[in-house]
């Protein structure tokens, strides 16, 4: 069965989720976290996309992003994902995929959903018990 085409509306926010292969940890060390942040920044500089919120968990990441169009979203995701895979494989002397298939995307259709998503992204590490509270998030981003 063919997969459904991705819905991207010009200049509308999207919730992107990208999982590690088999949902395994792919951000294991601080070095990994720093590298994916660099890769996100680089991919943004190479595409016409605007990042409004993100969280990097041990085995996946969430992005709230506004792409200019479908091509720009693809450019951003391909650049970010490929750079991280090369880094991850090189530092672990391995080959193969790091990501679990195609990234998930969901169009943000209302202001209510947008603010709910901001809260969800912000609280994801708290709910996963990787930080004690939201105030720890500020310290971990520096």
Residues with Cβ within 8 Å of 46's Cβ and at least 6 positions away in sequence, in order, are: 75, 76, 79
Q: How much is the average pLDDT of 1-18?
A: 84
Q: What is the pLDDT of residue 4?
A: 74
Report the helix count and the strand count for the chain, using DSSP H and E: 4, 4
The answer to whether residue 97 scores a pLDDT higher than 70 is yes
CATH of the domain at 28: 3.30.70.1290
Domain extent at residue 75: 14-140
HSE value, Cβ hemisphere, 13 Å, CA-based, for 59: 7
Q: What is the pLDDT of residue 64?
A: 96
Do the domain assignments include residue 8? no
Q: How confident is the model at residue 137 (pLDDT cuts 50, 70, 90)?
A: very low
For residues 99 and 60, give the distance between their C-alpha atoms in angstroms, rounded to a whole number.
9
Which has the minimum average pLDDT: 4-8, 14-18, 20-24, 83-87? Answer: 4-8
Do the domain assignments include residue 90? yes
Do the domain assignments include residue 1? no
């Amino acid at each position: 069965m063919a997969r459904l085409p991705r819905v991207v509306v010009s200049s509308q926010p999207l919730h992107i989720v990208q999982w590690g292969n088999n949902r395994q940890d792919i951000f294991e060390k601080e070095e990994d976290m720093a590298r994916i942040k660099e890769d996100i920044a680089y991919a943004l500089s190479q595409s016409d996309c605007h990042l409004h919120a993100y969280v990097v968990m041990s085995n996946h990441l969430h992005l709230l992003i506004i792409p200019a169009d479908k091509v720009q979203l693809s450019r951003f995701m391909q650049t970010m994902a490929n750079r991280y895979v090369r880094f991850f494989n090189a530092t672990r002397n391995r080959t193969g995929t790091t990501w679990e298939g195609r990234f998930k995307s969901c169009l943000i259709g209302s202001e209510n959903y947008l603010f709910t998503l901001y809260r969800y992204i912000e609280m994801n590490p708290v709910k996963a018990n990787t930080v004690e509270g939201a105030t720890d998030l500020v310290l971990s981003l520096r």
